[in-house]
Amino acid sequence: MHNLHHLTGIRGLAAFIVVFYHIEAYIQPYSNKYVMAVIKHGYLAVDFFFILSGFVIAYNYFDRLTVLTVDKAYDFYIKRIARIYPLHLLLLIVYTTIPLAYIVLGKDLSTLSGGNKFSFDTFVYSLFLVQSWGGVEDLTWNIPSWSISTEMLAYLLFPLMVYLLFFMHKKLKGAGVVLSLFCTFIVIIYVFEGTRTIGDNIQRLGFLRCVLEFFCGVCVWKLSKLQWLKLSGMLMFYGAIALFCVLMASGIKDYYFVPVTMSMVILGSVVYRSRVNVFFSHQFLIWLGNISYSVYLSHYFIRDWFKLLFLNSNEASIFWIVSYVITVLIISHLLFSFFEMSAKNRVLKILLKKGNNAIQ
């Protein structure tokens, strides 16, 4: 398996597709139908994140957790908490300035997405990262953190995933069959619920969407170890992209094909080195990928402040849009450089057992 730097670059681009998705209404007057076709489906970048996260976690931890001990489980959980929780906590705390500012200025909170959902009980749910485990009806506070909540659940279940895949791989004779089963489960769930897209009904289905797609990513990692797949990597990569585009244009409901095609794109890019890999390994895109978690968690907060301070109508100027995007980049870079990594290292220093190198 060649280096995986391109996945970092793709992650960075996907994070900014989410940013543009959340200002879709402001971009539309200045864009064409082709660009808007991409932006209006920006919620699918989250599905890519889930599958990619499962792949990366499996790549780093699967073999180490096949023989599970208390120390290994403890180290794994602490390292995942250290990676995602400090920035989430910071953004949750500073998000309290939004409703306070609206109240002080006498503005209507309902103009915000989820603006009437700033309650103490949902704050507590968010504090413990359980707000999207099925117990809260609406998206609240820092809206993008719903996916961080569900990913935390996926982390908790990962050791079980390792055991299940090990067991199912033996029984079903292949990770490909297991991947197909979990993609099928996703389709069955969304068909049964009668949803229009895989992005609907997040608070009811989001945790299932995340856990199942995370598991798909784990299966992709397992498949990437098969030597014979290298021979068909190019066909798989470009074929999956073409299939995704054709099915998206056809109007077929996206939950029928998004998990499997995205899984195949990641798998194809891992086993086959193409010019696309080289492109996404560019230094700028790698930087964008490095700050992507800060981009993802901070952009909604920054957007809400930009709306409060600089927007008096439902339309935004190009200057507003460009200023907002540049501000997201600058603040995300600062968060990554001076908080995200240092906070992670501090948590690890405090909570990891000294001399325990079970998981690096």
What is residue 312's predicted lDDT score, i.e. its pLDDT? 78
Which candidate, 162, 165, 205, 169, places its Cα nearest to that of 187?
205
Which residue in the block uniquely carries the two structure tokens 């996260």? 53
The residue that leads in pLDDT, 263 or 173, is 263
Averaged pLDDT of the chain: 84
What is residue 2's predicted lDDT score, i.e. its pLDDT? 54
- Cβ-Cβ contacts under 8 Å for 164 (sequence gap 6 or more): none
Q: How far apart are CA 302 and CA 331, in angstroms?
A: 9
Q: How far apart are CA 21 and CA 206, in angstroms?
A: 18
Amino acid identity at 25: A
**In three state form, how does the secondary structure of 91-150 look?**
HHHHCCHHHHHHHHCCCCHHHCCCCCCCCHHHHHHHHCCCCCCCCCCCCCCCCCHHHHHH
Percent of the chain with pLDDT over 70: 89
Estimate to the nearest angstrom the gap between the alpha carbon of 93 and the chain centroid: 21
Would you place residue 359 in the very low, low, confident or very high pLDDT band (cuts 50, 70, 90)?
very low
Q: What is the pTM of this model?
A: 0.87
Q: How far apart are CA 91 and CA 84, in angstroms?
A: 11
What is residue 194's predicted lDDT score, i.e. its pLDDT? 82
End-to-end CA distance of the chain: 20
Q: How far apart are CA 258 and CA 266, in angstroms?
A: 12
How far is the CA of 90 from the CAs of 26, 231, 240, 346, in angstroms? Answer: 28, 46, 38, 15
pLDDT one-digit tens code per residue, 75-96 = 999 999 999 999 999 999 999 9
pLDDT one-digit tens code per residue, 162-220 = 887 776 665 545 666 666 777 777 888 888 888 888 888 888 888 888 988 898 898 88
Which candidate, 284, 283, 333, 327, places its Cα nearest to that of 304?
327
* CB-based contact 278:2 (threshold 8 Å): no
The residue that leads in pLDDT, 16 or 180, is 16
DSSP state of 158: H
Radius of gyration of the chain (CA): 20
* CB-based contact 13:167 (threshold 8 Å): no
How many CB atoms sit inside 10 A of residue 134's CB?
A: 15
Read off the pLDDT of each residue in 28-40 and give the average, rounded to a whole number.
86
